[in-house]
Structure 1
Amino acid sequence: MRITQFNLVKVVAMICIISCISDFIVLFLLGNCYPGYSQLKNTISSLGASVSPVSYVISLWWIFIGTVFVFFGIIIGKAFDINHKNVKIASLLIILYGLGEGIGSGLFKADRIEGGLTKPFIIHNILGGIGVIAALILPLIMRKLITKKTMFHFYLFSWVVFIIGIITMLLFAIRFSPNEHNFLVLYKGLWQRLFLLNLYTYFIVISIIMYNKEV
């Protein structure tokens, strides 16, 4: 049976929802396969470092997840008015997130060497940073796309997601502090996962809206 544009939007929306939920499950399961790894104290990136026993598996998973978000960013234009400026921006931001935090993290490992950082680690951080910035900006664009008049609760939700995103990102950024025993620095893994939970919840809500929208 021919796949219509309407069906394609629904399929991609469902895949995005499943992928967001699955990513948390995979991160938890693979983290438990890494002796000494703490879900609250260690960063997600360290799962993909060369010294990690799950490095190869998690890298492939991140590339898959990143690809899902790239397609999600492309298809969002089919769910809304593709000629609308804010749709194009939202699409680009989601694609950048998929390329940076997903595919980029999978291709470039966060490896450290004694006394410095490796080139892959630096590229990993740069691409991840681009992805995070894109994710932070997304709610500000989506609130213009789905306005206060058309969906008031989503408009408010976008602001909440943006604020929580800023707070959790700043908390995670404190990991660069020289005081490694500081509570905020120690629990960097927690802040990173809260940032991810906040973002994935937003992606899931957008996916539900796309699924229910008549194309």
Structure 2
Amino acid sequence: MKNIADNRFFNMILLFTIIGEFIVPWILEQFYSEYNGKIMVMSALGSPQSPVRLIYNLWLVWLGGFLAYTAGAYFLSLRAKFPILAVFMLLSIGIFAVGAGLISGFFSVNESKDIVTTASKIHGVGAAIGFMALLIFSLLNGIVSFKQNNMIEGIISISSFVLSLIFFACFVMGDKEQFQNTILKYEGLWERLALFCMYIPFVYNSMSNLFF
């Protein structure tokens, strides 16, 4: 029986979802004049002040739901050969799916960081834990790739991990007051770059299953 993770339809939806992670915010920000994608995080599109909040929050729920399914698919495809790594991958993707997807979709952050509510606190914790969990996926995928003697995918995954770590660090520092007059202030940009690098192994896996 073929693994779900190798299924063409599954990989088409996964690619669609990952591309949508960047295209959907870009489209929605065109209808939100106060939003600045370079400085503001993507979650602000789902804030109570946003005219596109319903659409973006529904998108986060879709993202979380499908990535939770993806976590299960990756786990099932790897558990026979790499049971321990499979569990860590399940947790890495699954925690991101729940924290940065489902929880973030149901509990909105506010447009202004000065406005703190219970929902924004839950959102902040969920998203932060989710991002940190997904950060190690590239590393795990690299280890699996090297164990399978797939050197190209291994190098791509480890490179993605290093870049993700750098961009995520820039994203975190961008929230600090002492960096507001530096290039690090572009939180939205660093967030997107970090996510882009975190998703590279998924894209590589999907493209490999679709075209090779």
- TM-score norm. by structure 2 comes to 0.89
State which drifts further: 161-170 or 11-20. 11-20
Judge conservation of contact 1:174–1:184 (CA < 8 Å) in 2.
no
Q: Give the SS at the match of 1:147.
A: helix
Q: Which residue of 1 aligns with 2:177?
A: 178
Judge conservation of contact 1:87–1:145 (CA < 8 Å) in 2.
no
1:25 to 23, 26, 29: 23
Name the aligned partner's letter for residue 85 of structure 1: I
State which drifts further: 105-114 or 48-57. 105-114
Q: Which residue of 2 aligns with 1:96?
A: 95
Judge conservation of contact 1:100–1:128 (CA < 8 Å) in 2.
yes
Q: Which residue of 1 aligns with 2:186?
A: 187
Q: How many pairs align?
A: 210
1:62-105 CA-to-partner distances (Å, cap 9, x unmatched) read 00011110001101123334462111211221111111111111
Q: Which residue of 2 aligns with 1:65?
A: 63
Judge conservation of contact 1:13–1:72 (CA < 8 Å) in 2.
no
Q: Which runs of 5+ in 1 are unaligned?
A: none
Cα–Cα, structure 1 residues 85 and 38, in superposed 2: closer, same or farther, change >3 Å? same
Q: Which runs of 5+ in 2 are unaligned?
A: none
Q: Which residue of 2 aligns with 1:52?
A: 50
Cα–Cα, structure 1 residues 114 and 134, in superposed 2: closer, same or farther, change >3 Å? closer
Judge conservation of contact 1:136–1:165 (CA < 8 Å) in 2.
yes
1:162-198 CA-to-partner distances (Å, cap 9, x unmatched) read 1111111111111222246413343111111111111
Q: Identity rate of aligned residues, in percent?
A: 24
Distance across 2 between alignment mates of 1:212 and 1:89: 28
RMSD: 2.3
RCO higher in 1 or 2 (8 Å CA, sep ≥ 6)? 1
- TM-score norm. by structure 1 comes to 0.87
